[in-house]
């Protein structure tokens, strides 16, 4: 008769899910990966500790001059002291409530777009694309409804950056759609005109466009005829970006199968109805990453208005860091400007990803 011989218990199975399993598989899977992980950890810890010490522990947050920043850390007191200038430029202090009201309306229109399930999101988005630019323009310019006129030469800082970017985005998108459709038109005059426009504007740098709009254009106008420098910059930026936008949208139009065009024709739809109801919605879904990429490029290109004498947020920082009262604050100033740009560009990128996920039509691979 066989005698039962108990066996030793088996070890537990190797964990294949969870953070520990991920670390084991991706960071500690081989001696080489272990060495790279240790090296990366050492760089992060040593560099991170120095950064935290400079940016927080030894930093100065309150002060009225460079003498207050003697701890060897970052001088954030400079940013706090000049925050109004970085936000409003030379806009009169007594009228800055109008800028703040514009910021508030912009936030009301944009923030709900990031909240899934918000009931009034579509209405607020439509408000942001149509009425908001007009209302904000009236508020900022003034001269009506008892508002004191404020010359655009006094605009600056973050408000000027947002005005340039927002107006450029709102105007360049529909103009780009028209140009993209025109370039694919069967009518030679329309097709050649749109192609010429696109290739002309894509062939010159934005700096040249701004320089021409600011310096050269007034030379060709009749005596006594002129218009605002900011308006000229807005027109130049819009036309320049609309050419790039047109090519992005044209890529989406070319990706639509011919069967969609034939199906629309079979339903008896004309050009405008088939384009507006069937073709263009599908094309825009396909090119969301490219469209947002163009928006981000436009937002960052607003810094080029410095060459025509307009001080956007980067321009205000550059003009403030040369103040003799605040020496050795260039790093803090550029970090602040870069952080502001990163916030808005990252927000646009995240909204693009959320919109792409929501409108997913099965094209992702």
Residue 8 pLDDT exceeds 90: no
How high is the pLDDT of residue 181?
A: 92
Got the DSSP string for 332-354? HHHHHHHHHHHHHHHHHHHHHHH
How high is the pLDDT of residue 100?
A: 93
Taking the C-alpha atoms of residue 330 and residue 333, their distance in angstroms, rounded to an integer, is 5
How high is the pLDDT of residue 1?
A: 66
30-61 tens-digit pLDDT: 888 899 999 999 988 888 888 888 888 888 88
101-155 tens-digit pLDDT: 999 999 998 888 877 777 888 888 888 888 888 999 899 988 888 889 998 889 9
In this prediction, residues 264-271 reach a mean pLDDT of: 84
Percent of the chain past pLDDT 90, that is, above it, reads 28
70-84 tens-digit pLDDT: 878 888 988 998 999
Domain enclosing residue 37, as ranges: 30-59
Residue with the bigger pLDDT between 239 and 10: it is: 239
How high is the pLDDT of residue 164?
A: 92
Both tokens of residue 36? 């790279």
Percent of the chain past pLDDT 70, that is, above it, reads 97
When divided into structural domains, the chain yields a total of 2
pTM of the model: 0.82
**Do 86 and 157 touch, CB atoms closer than 8 A?**
yes
Note whether 229 and 352 are same-domain residues. Answer: yes
Got the DSSP string for 249-262? HHHHHHTS-HHHHH
Residue 297 pLDDT exceeds 80: yes
Q: Is residue 105 part of a domain?
A: no
Note whether 284 and 315 are same-domain residues. Answer: yes
Both tokens of residue 300? 């960052």
CA angle 52, 18, 116 (to 5 degrees): 75
Q: Is residue 111 part of a domain?
A: no
Q: Would you place residue 20 in the very low, low, confident or very high pLDDT band (cuts 50, 70, 90)? A: confident
Q: Is residue 15 part of a domain?
A: no
How high is the pLDDT of residue 362?
A: 53
Q: Is residue 341 part of a domain?
A: yes
How high is the pLDDT of residue 307?
A: 85
CA angle 78, 81, 82 (to 5 degrees): 85
Q: Is residue 132 part of a domain?
A: no
Note whether 285 and 309 are same-domain residues. Answer: yes
Q: Would you place residue 257 in the very low, low, confident or very high pLDDT band (cuts 50, 70, 90)? A: confident
Note whether 81 and 38 are same-domain residues. Answer: no
167-219 tens-digit pLDDT: 999 999 999 999 999 998 888 999 999 999 999 988 889 888 888 887 777 77
Residue 11 pLDDT exceeds 90: no
Note whether 269 and 220 are same-domain residues. Answer: yes
Least confident of 65-69, 208-212, 328-332: 65-69
Note whether 182 and 325 are same-domain residues. Answer: yes
Note whether 54 and 78 are same-domain residues. Answer: no
Q: Is residue 10 part of a domain?
A: no
Q: Is residue 23 part of a domain?
A: no
**Do 283 and 255 touch, CB atoms closer than 8 A?**
yes
Q: How much is the mean pLDDT over the chain?
A: 86
Any residues with CB less than 8 A from the CB of 143 and at least 6 apart, and which?
Answer: 149
Note whether 38 and 78 are same-domain residues. Answer: no
Q: What is the CATH number of the domain that holds 325?
A: 1.10.3720.10
Note whether 183 and 317 are same-domain residues. Answer: yes
Output helix, strand, coil percentages for the chain, rounded to the nearest 5: 70, 0, 25
Q: Is residue 35 part of a domain?
A: yes
């Amino acid at each position: 008769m066989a005698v039962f011989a108990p066996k030793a218990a088996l070890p537990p199975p190797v964990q294949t899910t969870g953070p520990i399993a991920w670390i084991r598989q991706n960071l500690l899977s081989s001696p080489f990966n272990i060495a790279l992980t240790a090296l990366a950890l050492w760089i992060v810890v040593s560099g991170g500790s120095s950064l935290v010490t400079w940016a927080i522990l030894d930093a100065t947050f309150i002060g009225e001059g460079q003498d207050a920043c003697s701890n060897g850390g970052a001088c954030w007191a400079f940013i706090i002291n000049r925050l109004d200038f970085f936000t409003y430029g030379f806009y009169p202090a007594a009228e800055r409530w109008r800028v703040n009201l514009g910021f508030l309306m912009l936030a009301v229109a944009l923030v709900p777009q990031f909240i899934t399930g918000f009931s009034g999101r579509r209405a607020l988005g439509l408000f942001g694309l149509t009425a908001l630019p007009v209302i904000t323009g009236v508020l900022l310019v003034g001269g009506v409804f008892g508002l004191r006129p404020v010359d655009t030469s006094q605009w600056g800082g973050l408000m000027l950056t947002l005005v340039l970017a927002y107006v450029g985005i709102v105007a360049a998108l529909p103009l780009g759609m028209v140009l993209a459709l025109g370039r694919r038109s069967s009518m030679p005059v329309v097709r050649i005109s749109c192609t010429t426009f696109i290739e002309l504007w894509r062939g010159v740098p934005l700096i040249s466009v701004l320089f021409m709009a600011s310096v050269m254009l007034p030379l060709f106008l009749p005596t006594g005829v002129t218009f605002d420098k900011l308006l000229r910059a807005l027109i130049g930026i819009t036309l320049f970006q609309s050419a790039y936008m047109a090519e992005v949208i044209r890529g989406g139009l070319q990706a639509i199968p011919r069967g969609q065009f034939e199906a629309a024709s079979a339903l008896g739809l004309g050009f405008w109805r088939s384009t507006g109801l069937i073709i263009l919605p599908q094309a825009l879904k396909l090119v969301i990453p490219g469209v947002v990429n163009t928006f981000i490029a436009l937002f960052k290109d607003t810094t080029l208005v410095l060459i025509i004498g307009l001080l956007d947020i980067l321009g205000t920082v550059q003009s403030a860091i040369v103040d003799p009262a605040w020496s050795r604050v260039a790093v803090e100033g550029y970090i602040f400007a870069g952080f502001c740009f990163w916030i808005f560009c990252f927000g646009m990128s995240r909204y693009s990803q959320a919109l792409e996920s929501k409108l997913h039509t099965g094209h992702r691979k």
